[in-house]
Amino acid sequence: MRKFGLLLAAGLAAIGVSAQAQNIGIGLDIPLSAPGDAAGGQMIRRGAEIGIDMVNAAGGVLGKKLELFVTDSQSAPAMGVANYRRLVGENKVVAVTGFFHSSVALGINEVAKEMGVPTLAVQASASDITAKHYDIAFRTHAVDPVRVAAWMEFIKKKGFKKISIIAETTDYGIGLTDETIAQNKSGKAGLDIQKITFDNKATDFTPQLLQIKSFKPDLVLNIGVGTPVDLIMDQATTIGLLPTTPMLISYDAPTRPQYWQLHPKNGEGIYFIAYYSPKSPLSDLGQAFAKAYKEKYKEDPVYGALNGFGAIEILAQGLKAANSTDPKALIKALESGTFKSWPDAPVTFPRADGVYWHNWVPPVLIVHYTKPNQDWKEADIAVTYSKK
Amino acid sequence: MFSTELVAQTAISGVMIGVLYALMALGITFIYSIMRMINWAMGEFYMIGSYLQFMLVAWVLGPDLWWLAILISTAGVFLLGLVVQWGLIKPIFKKPPEMRDDYATVVTLALLLFLRSIATGLAGPNQFTPGSTLPIMMIGPMPMAGARVAAFVFALAALGIFWAVLRYTWYGLALRAASQSRVGVQTAGIDVLSVDRVAFGIGVALAGLAGALLAPVFLVFPTNGMITTVKGFEIVVIGGLGSIPGALIAGILLGLIESFGAAFIDSAYQNIYGFLLVLAILVLRPTGLFGERGREA
């Protein structure tokens, strides 16, 4: 009986291995719990899952199906690195995509450059993710200099002089703060900048906001990710900083469906960064994805979902171009190829200078909610900035 | 950038958050004082209290009956605590006493992961808020959210009621006696496991109450109890494990240190100031400000 049990177990294991061998694994490391931006991670996951379904429905890649392995980084670099090791070591993935939090992407790239399996960051913006010029590091997202250039243009347009930055103490928050201070200096903008930083696990921002209020800024730059963004908004409203002083949120969190549920009274008047305008045309692939997404989730896809989908499409096209699942061949194909993703523009990853190494950068928009419960697709676009 | 107004505002903000921290810690220290076990899943009972508050306000009672929702949420967490104690904790107390700590740690850590996973599975990773119809109020020079002021008042009232029950009722006497000697209570004819059940229910209900009160202030999501657990244990170390006045004073002290540190030293280290205080207490008075030196055979 015991022998039969062992034989059965071995047989089942062999079937499992065989099924796994037929698929090509792609890793997706995203935040799915706090202190990470779990809602942001969920959007990327939705897009990537539909991407996998669409690629497989079209016949797969190299005669095999794609399989997605999802891990939760919680925004912790150590967790992200452990996830990457497991995805590469156990799940034998050919690439790892996702990455919402810059610190996680930076940590993973240090290990990835040794293990050799490429990474494709879809919503992490710290310059060093690509500026270190690692062979394995790719990205399809706005980088710090472009994002900061967009809000410097906005600040100039509005004639603001005193700026308060409230930023989390992560590579994302510190990177954007330092870049703002650097561009203020290099561009001779002459802004008076107050820098306030916070731990992203904090929940009470009243002491920081009181300091900001006493500084009397023309604009508050809210450089938090996830829950802190909303808590800062609410607590700023309580102490009378909002709506008197305009606030600019550093990413596209307000495009998410729960924004107006969380901020029915203080969501109006907020400015925020976005990377995609519904007024911009989508590619045929993007349109097919948007249709599939709307059918499945009864809402329009936001940028995170589009970029999660785009990452899967790009990797699938890269594998086809490489005609191999070998990581080195995939890296070469990504560097030399031109790919079709959700925007109506070709996506490339040249070995370019500085931060633009292996980096396709979408345009950056500054969007303004002018009415309560406004659909983000109808919000005003205050600034559109493209990489010069 | 010192100003009298900023100092006063920072002090008020620190005391307000400190009392709420104390409420979070009180459950941990109360359960420990009776049962001599640490409930590592305390933050998850806070989380359940916040979800109950959200569901009751958003779907059943409406925002005007937020106070009724708080009472129902707290009662709900109390009942859940009774069930958890009966199903998971009581069997531990039938094991040899020397193994209880290990069992309690494993069981409550497993409970933490289970409850967090259930919340993520059922409600998703998104944040929610029950909202509040209470207006912004001025506390001296400090504008405060009505929901935060209400949480502060409820927390003070709960601490007062809790103290009065312990001090003036027969059951409070039994609870205090159990905290001094479990064997002594048994020799007086009291069912100590029944006392445990009520103590566990009250302890987690205090966390649930904190969760319900703070739901409109700090939002509702599956891991919102994490900060509760961290702050709660900091306060327990500062105030002394098992000391109820210690929890209140340590909570206010922690709130003040964090607020002043963030406002006048460096806001990046807001969570570090509390740990520095914990380290100082451990060096100078390892049993905490109000803790008593234990006697072990």
Structural domain of A133 = 2-142+282-356
Same domain, yes or no, for A269 and A302?
A: no
* pLDDT tens digits for range B162-187: 889 988 999 999 988 888 888 888 89
HSE, CB side, 13 Å, CA atoms: give it for residue B15.
12
Structural domain of B18 = 4-284
Contact assessment for residue B212 and residue B74, using Cβ atoms and an 8 Å cutoff: yes
Same domain, yes or no, for A127 and A155?
A: no
Contact assessment for residue B213 and residue B154, using Cβ atoms and an 8 Å cutoff: yes
Domain count for chain A, please give it: 2
Select the residue from B7, B223, B267, B273 to test the A interface by mutation, using most A Cβ atoms within 10 A. Answer: B267
* pLDDT tens digits for range A88-145: 999 999 999 999 999 999 999 999 999 999 999 999 989 999 999 999 999 999 888 9
What local confidence, expressed as pLDDT, does residue A385 receive? 84
Q: How far is A45 from chain B (nearest CA, A)?
A: 12
Would you give the distance in Å from CA A259 to the centre of its chain?
A: 18
Is residue B297 included in any domain, yes or no? no
Of A227, A234, A235, which is closest to B221 when you measure between CB atoms? A227
What local confidence, expressed as pLDDT, does residue B293 receive? 58
Under 8 Å CB pairs connecting chains A and B tally to 111
Beta bridge partners of A28: A70, A97
Q: How far is B192 from chain A (nearest CA, A)?
A: 38
Domain count for chain B, please give it: 1
Same domain, yes or no, for A138 and A149?
A: no
* pLDDT tens digits for range A235-279: 999 999 999 999 999 999 998 888 999 999 999 999 999 988 877
Contact assessment for residue A209 and residue A228, using Cβ atoms and an 8 Å cutoff: no
Return the sign of the alpha-carbon dihedral for residues A317, A320, A324, A325: positive
Same domain, yes or no, for A262 and A162?
A: yes
Contact assessment for residue A156 and residue A191, using Cβ atoms and an 8 Å cutoff: no
A277–B contact, CB cutoff 8 A: no
B120–A contact, CB cutoff 8 A: yes
Is residue B296 included in any domain, yes or no? no
Cα–Cα distance, A35 to A77 (Å, whole number): 12
Distances (CA, A) of B63 to A244, A267, B57, B136: 26, 19, 5, 16
**B225: nearest CA partner in chain A:** A34
* pLDDT tens digits for range A188-240: 899 999 999 998 888 889 989 999 999 999 999 999 988 999 999 999 999 99
Chain A residues close to B17, C-beta within 8 Å:
204, 206
Whole-structure pTM value? 0.84
Same domain, yes or no, for A175 and A77?
A: no
Q: How far is B277 from chain A (nearest CA, A)?
A: 17
What local confidence, expressed as pLDDT, does residue B232 receive? 87
Same domain, yes or no, for A152 and A68?
A: no
Q: Where residue A263 sits, what CATH number does that domain have?
A: 3.40.50.2300
Is residue B13 included in any domain, yes or no? yes
Chain B residues close to A38, C-beta within 8 Å:
125-126, 221-222
Same domain, yes or no, for A259 and A352?
A: no
Residues within 8 A of A (CB atoms), B 7-36 only = 9-10, 13-14, 17
Is residue B139 included in any domain, yes or no? yes
Distances (CA, A) of A275 to A301, A366, B248: 13, 9, 47
Is residue B128 included in any domain, yes or no? yes
Of B124, B259, B267, which is closest to A42 when you measure between CB atoms? B124
Of B128, B143, B217, which is closest to A239 when you measure between CB atoms? B143
A281–B contact, CB cutoff 8 A: no
Is residue B290 included in any domain, yes or no? no
Of A33, A42, A231, which is closest to B219 when you measure between CB atoms? A231
Same domain, yes or no, for A204 and A106?
A: no
Same domain, yes or no, for A131 and A242?
A: no
Of A33, A234, A258, which is closest to B120 when you measure between CB atoms? A33
Is residue B289 included in any domain, yes or no? no
**Percentage of the residues of chain A whose pLDDT score is greater than 70:** 94
A215–B contact, CB cutoff 8 A: yes
Q: What is the mean pLDDT of residues B18-45?
A: 88
What local confidence, expressed as pLDDT, does residue A16 receive? 47
**B17: nearest CA partner in chain A:** A204
CB contact under 8 A, A238 and B148: yes
Is residue B18 included in any domain, yes or no? yes
Same domain, yes or no, for A83 and A170?
A: no
Report helix, strand or coil for A177.
Answer: helix
HSE, CB side, 13 Å, CA atoms: give it for residue A128.
17
Same domain, yes or no, for A48 and A150?
A: no
Cα–Cα distance, A96 to A22 (Å, whole number): 19
* pLDDT reading at B78 higher than 50: yes
What local confidence, expressed as pLDDT, does residue A8 receive? 52
CB contact under 8 A, B218 and A197: no
Q: How far is B68 from chain A (nearest CA, A)?
A: 22
Q: Where residue B199 sits, what CATH number does that domain have?
A: 1.10.3470
Same domain, yes or no, for A270 and A286?
A: no
